[in-house]
Structure 1
Amino acid sequence: MSLFYIERAPKTAVENPNVLILLHGYGSHENDLFSFAEELPDELLIISARAPFEMGYGGYAWYAINFDANNEKFSDVAQASDSVDKIAEFIDEIKRKYNTKKTFLLGFSQGAILSFGLSFRYPNKVDHVIALSGYLLEDLIPNEISADITTDYYISHGLVDQVIPFTWAKKTPDFLNNLNLLNEFHEYPVGHGVAPQNFYSFKDWIHKRL
């Protein structure tokens, strides 16, 4: 497989499972979002992928975040682009290996940023995107966006996020609405994290689409 991963098999045997693929954030690892797995619908196959770039101390990244002379952060777009391609290949491998039906892609922070990018670079490779505490990185969005995308989006963000400003995330629904893509945007009075209400909200969103 092109990425290391851990899995939770469906708790009820099913021939063509719906799959939820988890993409962690910068400096984290595959066990982070996997903590959600036990609380998610029994019929889901849950796959949690590890990002390809090792950072030490057990942390991994999908792409580097660097600082310029003015201490301004910027993303390594080439690495981010490579990771989108790796994730697309990984999704195909998972689909073939497990003979899956619908594909849900859930990303947190960097994982959410790449989930958005992948949904436009590889139209309809995933059916549903859950983007937590991320934003649209324009450099990952193609100049020409397919008119045939049917993916829908659940987006959430903390109002006091100190890592990715809330104002960045708030632009996403307008972008999706202009493309006539179904989306829900939820805001929570938290920082860069997932509030319990947020978890139950996206869990319900997933359940309705199974």
Structure 2
Amino acid sequence: MSEIKRKGLPLTEAKKAIVLIHGRGATADSILSLSSHLNLTDYAILAPQANGNSWYPFGFMASDNGNKVSLEQSLKMLEETRSEILKAGIPNERIYLLGFSQGACLSLEFAAQNARKFGGVVAFTGGLIGEKLDAEKYTGDFSGTPIFIGSSSRDFHVPAKRINESAELLRKMGAEVTVKLYEDSDHTIRTDEIDWINHRMFI
């Protein structure tokens, strides 16, 4: 099991859990600091640490072969984290995923490859991973899982086109997807996005 940083309630005491997934070049500690801005008072908060601070080496729309080995290892790490939560008695419908940038892409990819009822998925600037979107790669039914994707409409790393295509695929898999594209060009997490998920997901 890879390193996981923790905050909030112990898994044995919490009724809900959230997995926070950091971006490229960042750390578990850095994404954990975001939790103080979220309504997570009764959650167990887990933040896995990527090897070398990166979940996969190339861009999320680069050659599938280039990212394959690292991406598989990263998805396995998330599965191990989810399994630990499930073993503690917290059901999948009370497990949340939240990521920023590379972590947002990974959170969406993991959810889509393991589609079922989650508490919710938050992707701050991200889309499904792959050179091209391949619907046949994903199976399962989100059963109304709320998914939020927020980003700049002209983000340098994550094209709005891929965000919208990802959202449509996730909707076809039964998710309730909200996309908010902002007019600024900042690669960041906005106060408006925090407010949205606090009032509609973490309640």
Q: TM-score band, normalised by the shorter chain? A: 0.7 to 0.9
Aligned length in residues: 194
Matched, 1:37 2:29: no
Kindly state the Cα deviation for residue 133 of structure 1 after the two structures are TM-superposed. Answer: 0.5
Is the Cα–Cα contact under 8 Å of residues 122 and 148 in structure 2 kept in the other structure? yes
If the length of structure 2 is used for normalisation, what is the TM-score? 0.82
Partner of 2:196, secondary structure, is: helix
Kindly state the Cα deviation for residue 73 of structure 1 after the two structures are TM-superposed. Answer: 5.4
Q: Which residue type is aligned with residue 76 of structure 2?
A: D
Give the gaps of 5 or more residues in structure 2.
none
Matched, 1:168 2:156: no
Partner of 1:6, secondary structure, is: strand
Larger radius of gyration: 1
Distance in 2, Cα, partners of 1:133 & 1:124 = 22
In structure 2, relative to structure 1, the CA distance for the partners of 1:85 and 1:203 (3 Å cut) is: same
Distance in 2, Cα, partners of 1:80 & 1:126 = 21
Partner of 2:201, secondary structure, is: helix
In structure 2, relative to structure 1, the CA distance for the partners of 1:194 and 1:3 (3 Å cut) is: same
User: Which has the larger share of helix?
Assistant: 2
Aligned-residue identity in percent: 20
Select which of 101, 106, 127 maps to 1:114.
106
Select which of 87, 92, 95 maps to 2:83.
92
After the TM superposition, which parts of structure 1 deviate over 4 Å for at least 4 consecutive aligned residues?
A: 72-75, 139-142
Kindly state the Cα deviation for residue 20 of structure 1 after the two structures are TM-superposed. Answer: 1.0
How big is the alpha-carbon RMSD for the aligned residues of Structure 1 and Structure 2? 2.7
Is the Cα–Cα contact under 8 Å of residues 25 and 109 in structure 1 kept in the other structure? yes
Distance in 2, Cα, partners of 1:31 & 1:110 = 16
1:90-133 superposed Cα distances (whole Å, 9 cap, x missing partner):
21113324x32410000111211111221122232743211110
Is the Cα–Cα contact under 8 Å of residues 124 and 149 in structure 1 kept in the other structure? yes
- Match of 2:173? 179
In structure 2, relative to structure 1, the CA distance for the partners of 1:95 and 1:177 (3 Å cut) is: closer
- Match of 1:81? 72
Partner of 1:35, secondary structure, is: helix
The 10-residue stretch of structure 1 (129-138 or 170-179) with the greater mean CA deviation from structure 2: 170-179
Give the gaps of 5 or more residues in structure 1.
55-59, 67-71
If the length of structure 1 is used for normalisation, what is the TM-score? 0.79
Distance in 1, Cα, partners of 2:22 & 2:195 = 19
Q: Which residue type is aligned with residue 79 of structure 1?
A: S
Kindly state the Cα deviation for residue 14 of structure 1 after the two structures are TM-superposed. Answer: 8.3
